[in-house]
Structure 1
Amino acid sequence: MATVQQLHSTLQQHLTIPIHQGEYWYGGCVMDGPVYPFTQGSDYQLDMIHLNTPNQVAPAFISTAGRALWSAQPFNLQVKGNDLEIAGRSTLYLDESGHNLKDAQQTLARQTFTLGKMPPAEFFKLAQWNDWIELMYKQNQADVLKYAHGIVDHGFAPGIIMIDDLWAEYYGRWEFSIRKFPDAKGMVQELHDMGFKVMVWTCPFVTPDTPEYHDLRDQHMLIEKADGTPVIREWWNGYGALLDLSNPKTYAWYKHALTKLQTETGVDGFKFDAGDAKFYDDDDRSVMQLSKTEQTQLWGEFGLEFPYNEYRVNFKNQGAPLVNRLQDKSFEWGVNGLSELIPDTLTQGLLGYYYNCPDMIGGGEYTSFLGKKGHLDQELIVRSAQCAALMAMMQFSVAPWRVLDKEHLDLCIQAAKLHHDYADYIIALAQNAAKTGEPITRPMAYEYPETPLAFAKTQFMLGAKLLVAPVLEKGAAHKTIYFPAGKWQSIHDTHDVVTGGGEKDVPVDLSTLPAYQKID
């Protein structure tokens, strides 16, 4: 029988948990994926209470020794020598009944995940499209349709398409700008006729000195300062007031605004951006007097009203049918680029954010694309597409046909087709995740605890059957892969069978995405 220790703590009372010899820990903060796992002597600390991360956070850690640590509230954690030192706001739970990483993750799922439902299958079936890199802040009907037609005209299948920021006149008026979209309903219908599902960008900010702002302010439906006036916070698009979604009137107002847009134009869902804890303060006044992390949690919970949703930030809400993407990555091979897609994605999965998207192919950090017309690294875009092809979801933004020559474009089409070829398998894994809490993309150590640590961030398992080892280095002619014991057959060549039990150098060229299925 499992034994769960309840470790009561305050921020003034420190708790110490010894790290076992050879034990490695994952969890906490998705953005810290590249530094996971940590162990004895690691230089790692995480202050969840004051954390300003642009991605998902869960108050939980799990280890390769089968131990699971969690709490209902954020806590601080630091490795000191051979110990974990922890201080929290509420009861900490430590379960030591497991033997390996899978045991620990499944304990966490049983104790903290919301199971039972997954997002619509369309998220997993085909490559998604977001017009952000192409249109940026110049959203308009003509160019949205041009982008959509470019997708199908160049050999890609229509999937979900997202219309990004500035399709409305300002924040808080969630209606298509008539200047930019003279016939929004007709546009959405045309996109539907082409085979697309349509999502649009939204956020919890309200532009000051607008009719919506004045109305919300007068009814005390915005987050306020102690004197009862709305807080005005700086964010990446200037300054804005914040919806108090803990107020039932505000919640109903926002839901009505979005459902009205759906009814009038036919859009299918919403990309929910912002909501970061850094935009809130624990001293803010709200109806339920929520902390900054609880505001982020509530922002995520709101998305459950809309099956077609996407989030960049979340606190808790693990296992819920919410699509969680990675933060905007840079157009880079290394730091904050391609090399971080695997560790970040695996951290998402272990924590329960397994309905995940590894950001836009090539990266969603738009400044990486400014002033580079004709000078983009085409190989990086191909490798980014290949890396995402056998993950839960893949999403394009920069138009491959605009920035790639025929050779590289064909390889991106091939990567998108590969994702579609494995859609039934991926959807089955998503269905399993909804039932059990098991990740879709999994660390090697989840299925094969004996995997050397050197391979923890360069390859992964898609479910229990498929080993995927994307090429992550520019100009690579080979990829060193660890094959667990057994026979592994290449998904590209049935005659290519590897007998596992160690590592092997596999030759690669630009067209190669090393992936193997266990056949015994």
Structure 2
Amino acid sequence: MTTTAPCKLRQNRAHAIGAGSPERSAASCVTSLVLLGALVAYAAATASLSTRYDQTSGRLVILLTGDGEEEEVGYVTAPSDGYAPTACEDGRSDEDCLQFTDSSMAVRHRTLDDRCLDIKVSAKSSTRSIRGCLNHRGAHIYGGIQKAQQTWPAESDVFDHFSYVPKKDGKVGIAVRYWLFSDGRTPIPTPHEEQAHEYAIENFLGKPEAIPDERMATHPVWSTWARHKKDIDDATVRQIAADIIAHGFNESQLQVDDYWESCYGSLTFDTDKFPDVKTMVDDLHKLGYRVTLWVHPFVNQDCEPYYSQALASGYFVTSSNGTVDTQWWRGVGGVIDFTNSEAAAWWACRVWALHKATGIDSFKFDAGETSWLPYESTIEPLELNPVRFTDDYVKTVSQFGPMIEVRSSVRSQQQPVFFRMFDKHSSWSAQNGLRTLIPSLLHMNVVGHPFVLPDMIGGNVNSGNGPDKELYIRWLEATVFMPALQMSIAPWDFDDETVEIARNMTSLHVQYAPRIVELMKRTVQDGSPVNLPIWWLDPTDETALTVDSEFLLGEDILVAPVVTHSATTRDIYLPKGSWRDEVDPAHPVTEGPTWLRKYPAPLNTLPYFTRVSSS
């Protein structure tokens, strides 16, 4: 990675949108805004969207009209004050505006021949919770928001008074306002969902500018976090490095996680725990490691002089009542305002200085969700408050090169970095456990974030209970054909069999790493996902549309891990094509679409297949 630090306090191109000074417009504290974004519905060439206020239900009904027919495709719950609304006196000519007693609702016909609507609700005093619904007309829905109980497909999800922003509650790291319908609904009609997605990539989501680090896509990232939590020091890091090599896992990346700082936000090492960081890093480099470091955007109140410096300079995100402090998982302090170019540069310069002084290769940038901001934040422009913070944070940290990882995004799909899954529980369950790993992978790919760094193998151990041997191995197998591997709990914490299986599985990942890199490069060219749902090969296959425990690497490798406790067989669905079994030594070829019932998958087996023909 480059070692040149662009640290002058000047306007940063990555922060050129909106005002960034600590002096805020008073108007931003008067009107709160909720923007639902573009509501997209499939329509024939002669159809268009329109709205009608229903006094009985208090809803703004969204209608699809065409060919003499009218269909309700959704609604938005209007601000209820008991009185019928009137037309806004100062409404725009290109919108329908309803004025309520203390609020207004505007509907604007945006683009693409009246097939898209923007719906905006403004309240004079505070943000109103509203509920938006879309009638999916029997189609399956994919995409939307990342969450702890990730589902695939997502039409059964229920969101009630749920803010559509990156936030801690629900483990929402990625909040893209994009949904893909299985009947191919887009502003331009398409017969199938993969064509609809290709259209969306080109016209809405965009593509990454480059690929992340190739070595990260090849060899495991080893983190101190899940295994050691905050109890780390020089000796601990060196022992981890020695153990990795002793057990036959070479060419790895070692990540020093929490807690290495002298205080949270100092961006300087605690010299009692790490007396000579430069020597430690140099020694790890000699062993073949690259070394990365956990970094966050907070400065705690007790972290001086850094807190006072940032406070005096106006570098923290500010609430509408002038406060800056916020509660995060490591205390109380301010969060750097990355929408302020000078604040972003001050913080980034200190990270560059840390990099230069220690020889650290790169960084894991944590947090970035809007729930860590003081409420209500005064980020501008108002219609991007608070989500602009998330994307400007990602833009700022992306200057540190392709080895970094982040976990939050709204519209940061263009950044050539790994996006880490939000922390998973060390469990088998569909409540943020192993059962959600594949749905999370598919979700991130379909909303334009295909450079996925899965959470640590075996889960994050945040609840205090780590994985047992079976869960650990099945978790590892499930990630082999994903873009990267991330370890913390060590296979030698279990037994020799686990070590052998782990070596075999990491070697299998290395074997297919060139294909993963090739697919990442294709993503830069045309936006294609790296890991695809199996329906991608035949969008008319009703069975494939609901399979949530299999996935593809590209369009020619199908992976079917075991994600059920105590299972040694599983049912595998093969979509259209000729599929060669890569586990069976005889490599039989099976014609799809078909089910393979009770396919044998003992603990050391990851079922996967190569498509040898598409017909």
How high is the TM-score relative to the length of structure 2?
Answer: 0.75
2:500 corresponds to which residue? Answer: 410
Structure 2 distance, partners of 1:173, 1:220, is 17
1:461 paired residue among 542, 552, 570: 552
- 1:292-324: CA deviation from partner (whole Å, max 9, x where unpaired): 222122222222111221112222212421211
Question: What one-letter code is carried by the residue in structure 2 that aligns with 1:199?
Answer: T
Pairing 1:44–2:158 present: yes
2:280 paired residue among 184, 187, 202: 187
1:34 corresponds to which residue? Answer: 150
Contact 1:281 1:292 in 2 (8 A): no
2:418 corresponds to which residue? Answer: 323
2:527 corresponds to which residue? Answer: 437
Question: What one-letter code is carried by the residue in structure 2 that aligns with 1:211?
Answer: P
Question: What one-letter code is carried by the residue in structure 2 that aligns with 1:512?
Answer: T
Contact 1:332 1:338 in 2 (8 A): yes
Contact 2:217 2:517 in 1 (8 A): yes
- 1:39-75: CA deviation from partner (whole Å, max 9, x where unpaired): 4xx453373446634321111111112224xxxxxxx
Q: Please state how far the C-alpha of 1:496 moved relative to its aligned partner.
A: 2.9
Q: Give SS of 1:379's match.
A: helix
2:17 corresponds to which residue? Answer: none
Contact 1:330 1:368 in 2 (8 A): no
Structure 2 distance, partners of 1:64, 1:319, is 25
Pairing 1:311–2:425 present: no
Structure 2 distance, partners of 1:286, 1:232, is 15
- 1:421-453: CA deviation from partner (whole Å, max 9, x where unpaired): 100001101111122111111111122321515
Pairing 1:161–2:254 present: yes
Q: Give SS of 1:11's match.
A: strand
Structure 2 distance, partners of 1:9, 1:163, is 45
Structure 2 distance, partners of 1:293, 1:179, is 38
Distance 1:433 1:451, change over 3 A: farther
Distance 1:15 1:170, change over 3 A: closer
Structure 1 distance, partners of 2:486, 2:586, is 29
Distance 1:451 1:32, change over 3 A: farther
Greater helix content: 1
2:438 corresponds to which residue? Answer: 342
2:178 paired residue among 50, 57, 60: 60
Question: What one-letter code is carried by the residue in structure 2 that aligns with 1:36?
Answer: W
Pairing 1:357–2:453 present: yes
1:19 corresponds to which residue? Answer: 136
Contact 2:535 2:545 in 1 (8 A): no
- 1:80-115: CA deviation from partner (whole Å, max 9, x where unpaired): xxxxxxxxxxxxxxx243222211222221122243
Distance 1:153 1:170, change over 3 A: same
How high is the TM-score relative to the length of structure 1?
Answer: 0.88
Name the Cα RMSD after superposition: 2.3
Pairing 1:6–2:116 present: yes
Structure 1 residues without counterparts, runs of 5 or longer: 69-94
Contact 2:544 2:573 in 1 (8 A): no
The more displaced of 45-54 and 485-494 is 45-54
1:477 corresponds to which residue? Answer: 568
Structure 2 distance, partners of 1:103, 1:146, is 51
Matches within 5 A, 1:131-142: 131-142=224-235
Structure 2 distance, partners of 1:339, 1:287, is 39
2:312 corresponds to which residue? Answer: 218
Matches within 5 A, 1:219-234: 219-226=313-320, 228=322, 230-234=323-327
Distance 1:66 1:287, change over 3 A: closer
Pairing 1:268–2:384 present: no
1:366 corresponds to which residue? Answer: 462
Distance 1:165 1:14, change over 3 A: closer
Identity %: 27
Distance 1:364 1:24, change over 3 A: same
2:469 corresponds to which residue? Answer: 378
The more displaced of 473-482 and 4-13 is 4-13
Q: Give SS of 1:125's match.
A: coil
Distance 1:447 1:250, change over 3 A: same
Larger radius of gyration: 2
